[in-house]
Amino acid sequence: MTTKPTVFITGANRGIGLELVRQYAAAAWRVIATCRNPVGLGELARLHGEIEVHGLDVTDDNQATALAKELDGTAIDVLINNAGVYGPNKYSLDEVDEDAWTQTLRVNVMAPLRISNLFTPHVAASTQRKIITVTSKMGSIADNASGGVYIYRSSKSAVNAVMRSLSHELRDQGIIVTLLHPGWVKTDMGGPNALISVEQSVTGVRGVIANLSGEQSGSFLNYDGTEIPW
């Protein structure tokens, strides 16, 4: 009897996270889906497959620790840090809100590291052993040709640095740690003028994840598998 592979997804109730749940469940994976408020799940509750939903605010230490303990003994083949926020829509230098900046860093940078650390034993016990963080090309310093968007850009640059460091720390356990840019996607965050659909993005992301090798641990990749400059 073949055991189903297991994927753990944060921010799973909408956008890219919801489509990740849909596609992995359709591919006969066991899906552990998390979101801040599991009450009134809407579309997530209507998906078919082996899906279990847990409430998780990724910035809440107690919730995250409790969930890791609840899932003790569960092997997680692929952990996807998908939960994230854009932060304020005001971009200019004079409009930077330091409190909002701090909160964005908590969600986009500190939380992915915390979740990855808490669930490292679960990932290490699996067959595939992959930790993926959904990042953005806007975190690329080399690609920044327009400036502005200080809060979101800096949060994604920071999580890139954090996960690159984590990739070295977990290498001896055979865990692949990779950063993935999903493209400019037509979601609530990406807006209606984005270039690709959520279905296209997630299909690409899943393909990249499936084909990751140990040599790619610590890489910053596009949803089509191409490398993005730091």
Choose, from 130, 156, 186, 223, the residue flagged as catalytic: 156
Phi, psi angle pair for 102, to nearest 5°: -60, -45
Choose, from 24, 130, 152, 186, the residue flagged as catalytic: 152
Taking each helix axis as running N to C, give the angle between helix 98-105 and helix 150-169, from 0 to 180 degrees, rounded to the nearest 10.
Answer: 30
The CA-atom distances, in angstroms, between 149 and each of 89, 96, 160 are 8, 9, 17
Phi, psi angle pair for 186, to nearest 5°: -75, 80
Residue 137 falls in the annotated catalytic set: no
String of DSSP letters for 111-158: HHHHHHHHTHHHHHTSSS-EEEEE--GGG-STT--S---HHHHHHHHH
Residue 4 falls in the annotated catalytic set: no
Helix (H, G, I), strand (E, B) or coil at 33: strand
Question: 130-134 and 176-181 as β-strands: parallel, antiparallel, unpaired?
Answer: parallel
Phi, psi angle pair for 172, to nearest 5°: -65, -20
Active site residues: 152, 156
